[in-house]
Amino acid sequence: MANATMVTEFLLLASPDGWDLSFLYFTVFPITYLGTLLGNLLIVTVTTADQNLHTPMYFFLRNLSILDMCYISITVPNACVNSFTGNRAISVAGCATQIFLVIFCAYVEMLFLTIMAWDRYVAICQPLQYPLIMNPQFCVHVTLASLFSGLLYAVVHTGNTFRLSFCQSNVVHQFFCDVPSLLKLSCSDTTSNLVLLLVSAVLICGGCFLFIVMSYIRILSAVLKFPTGNSSKAFSPCTPHILVFSIFLSSGAGVYLRPSEESHTLQDMVLSTFYTMVPPFLNPLIYSLRNKQVKEAMRRIMQRQLFSGK
């Protein structure tokens, strides 16, 4: 326990042994980050400015875009600055803050994607009841419930992690602080931490996954009854949504649920990139470039700007 008080900072790992990943921090990470910010900011602007997009679906999409901008900003800028300056140190308080925010954003992201699947299910399978079920009060309440439960979830996991003693090393084998990396550094018994991670993953992640799968099974069964042209149009937004959620869930599970003795630093860093960077980057591409309503709204906004400029 005495050694634990000596740990006042952690050192983030820029690259695993034998690998030079500086090109990622100077090219791929900044480009992905800027693309994510611009894409999600565009969605927020369009869905706010165009009255035709003031619907439950685009309300949740706007919230998801705001969350994604925050989510990717927790890890990527700090990793790029650390690589540029060569300063890999992060204080214990800074590490705890980063873990808290990553867990919070990942949890809320998962709930938002689940809610969006529910929204599509109601819209396609119960269209007449859609305005009644997905009313503005329900949308606000379910969003607030996601945020508050996310705060509680992040507090529990962050507090359970930092009650441990860290005396093995202060080198975090990741480009940001995360729970699995810190558990490897602890000289305390981490059994309760691992059990909590497993139980929460099964109940929450597994529950969201099953809910989304069941929603899309019902959507698919309903869509198959539509005429051929309408069925493909109705199900087209669902396929990329399933893809993003699958990438997010599988990569996160690969990092958090894999036994530490089977864990490899490079593989963990790649998987962490997938669950922290890929979904925020893909969401605006999926919901803007593939979405006819968003593209038409963008066209109307640009036309208004041109006419107002004259």
Backbone angles phi, psi at 237, to 5 degrees: -70, -20
- pTM, full prediction: 0.89
Per-residue DSSP letters for 222-276?
HHTTS-HHHHHHHHTTHHHHHHHHHHHHHHHHHHHSS-GGG--HHHHHHHHHHHH
Q: Which residues, in sequence order, are bridge partners of residue 172? A: 12
Output the tens digit of pLDDT for each of the chain's 310 residues. Answer: 444 446 788 988 766 665 667 777 889 899 999 999 999 998 999 888 888 888 998 999 999 999 999 999 999 999 888 888 888 899 999 999 999 999 999 999 999 999 999 998 998 889 899 999 999 999 999 999 999 999 999 999 999 999 988 876 788 888 899 998 898 888 888 889 999 988 998 899 889 989 998 998 898 888 787 766 555 565 666 777 778 888 888 888 877 777 665 556 777 788 888 889 988 998 888 877 667 777 777 778 777 766 665 5
Interhelix angle 92-125/265-276, rounded to 10 degrees, is 50
Distance of alpha carbon 56 from alpha carbon 234, whole angstroms? 17
Under 8 Å CB-to-CB from 11, ≥6 apart: which residues? 88, 89, 90, 170, 171, 172
Rounded-to-integer distance, Cα 65 and Cα 67, Å: 5
Provide the pairing of β-strand 171-172 with 9-12: parallel
CA distance 289 to 192: 45
pLDDT score recorded for residue 162: 92
Q: For 119-164, what is each residue's pLDDT tens digit?
A: 989 988 898 999 999 999 999 999 999 999 999 999 999 999 999 8
Q: Of the candidates 247, 113, 106, which has an alpha carbon nearest to the alpha carbon of residue 176? A: 106
| Alpha carbon distance 11, 111 (integer Å) | 32
Among 103, 97, 100, 109, smallest CA distance to 143 is for: 109
Asked if 105 and 67 touch (Cβ cutoff 8 Å), the reply is yes
Burial of 92 (0-12, 13-18, 19+ CB in 10 A): middle
